[in-house]
C-alpha cells in the first residue's frame, strides 16, 4: 500500500438495531454510523440514510473536503 492511498482508506463501523414501535405500528431500523478516520458518529433512522452518510464521507475524502449531510448538504456541527 502506498503512503498516499493509506490516507484515503476510510474505516466505518455500522451498528444496526431494530427499534420497537407502539401498538399497531411497525418498528424500524436505527443505525449508528461511525467514521473511524474523523472520529465522527451519528445515528440515523434507516439503512438507506446510513449508506448515504458513508457515500458522502467517501466522496469528501477523495475530494479532500469536509463531509456534508447527504440529504441537506450541510456541514456537520
- Per residue in 9-67, pLDDT tens? 889 999 999 988 777 778 889 999 999 888 889 999 989 999 999 999 888 888 876 65
- What does the pLDDT read at residue 75? 52
User: Does an H or E element contain 63, and which?
Assistant: helix 47-63
Q: How many CA atoms lie within 13 Å of 4's alpha carbon, on the beta-carbon side?
A: 2
- What does the pLDDT read at residue 65? 64
Alpha-carbon gap, residue 38 to 66, rounded angstroms: 10
User: Does an H or E element contain 15, and which?
Assistant: strand 12-19
Q: Is the dihedral of CA 44, 48, 54, 58 positive or negative?
A: negative
Statement: residue 4 has pLDDT above 60? no
Amino acid at each position: 500500500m502506498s503512503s498516499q492511498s493509506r490516507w484515503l482508506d476510510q474505516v466505518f463501523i455500522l451498528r444496526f438495531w431494530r427499534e420497537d414501535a407502539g401498538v399497531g405500528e411497525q418498528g424500524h431500523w436505527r443505525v449508528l454510523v461511525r467514521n473511524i478516520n474523523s472520529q465522527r458518529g451519528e445515528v440515523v433512522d434507516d439503512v438507506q440514510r446510513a449508506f448515504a452518510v458513508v457515500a458522502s464521507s467517501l466522496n469528501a475524502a477523495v475530494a479532500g473536503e469536509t463531509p456534508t449531510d447527504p440529504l441537506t448538504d450541510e456541514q456537520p456541527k
